[in-house]
């Protein structure tokens, strides 16, 4: 019988996984900020800003978390992404119209 070896991570491997998690979080936070600022960007532009290659993955993660990210296919076959406006939010400072 062959003995099964337990998969253990070395300290260097744990540190690299921690770095990847922090880097992914940094990318997600940057993408959130870009969309909250009202910008419309392609995945290529987001990748250039974040210095990564995970823009579409980050957008997918945000959509799974409930972000209303809209996209549109451009003539050059790139998608343009932006945050859809939420009409359900209440404006606390807007005066109601009197009838």
- Calculate the alpha carbon distances from 60 to 7, 31, 64, 90, 97 in Å: 30, 11, 6, 27, 39
From first to last of its 99 residues, the chain has per-residue pLDDT tens of 444 444 566 766 666 655 566 678 889 999 999 999 999 999 999 999 999 998 999 999 999 999 999 999 999 999 999 999 865 555 566 665 554
Q: Does domain 16-83 have CATH number 1.10.10?
A: yes
Q: Which of 2, 60, 1, 49 is nearest to 26 (CA)?
A: 49
- DSSP state, 90? -
Question: What is the C-alpha radius of gyration for the chain, rounded to an integer number of angstroms?
Answer: 21
Looking at residue 16, its pLDDT comes to 61
């Amino acid at each position: 019988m062959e003995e099964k070896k337990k998969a253990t991570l070395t300290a260097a491997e744990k540190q690299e996984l921690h770095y990847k998690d922090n880097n992914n979080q940094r990318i997600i936070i940057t993408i959130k900020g870009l969309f909250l600022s009202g910008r419309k960007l392609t995945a290529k532009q987001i990748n250039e800003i974040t210095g990564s290659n995970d823009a579409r993955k980050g957008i997918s993660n945000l959509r799974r978390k409930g972000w209303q990210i809209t996209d549109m296919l451009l003539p050059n076959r790139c998608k343009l992404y932006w945050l859809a406006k939420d009409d359900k939010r209440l404006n606390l400072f807007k005066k109601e119209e009197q009838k």
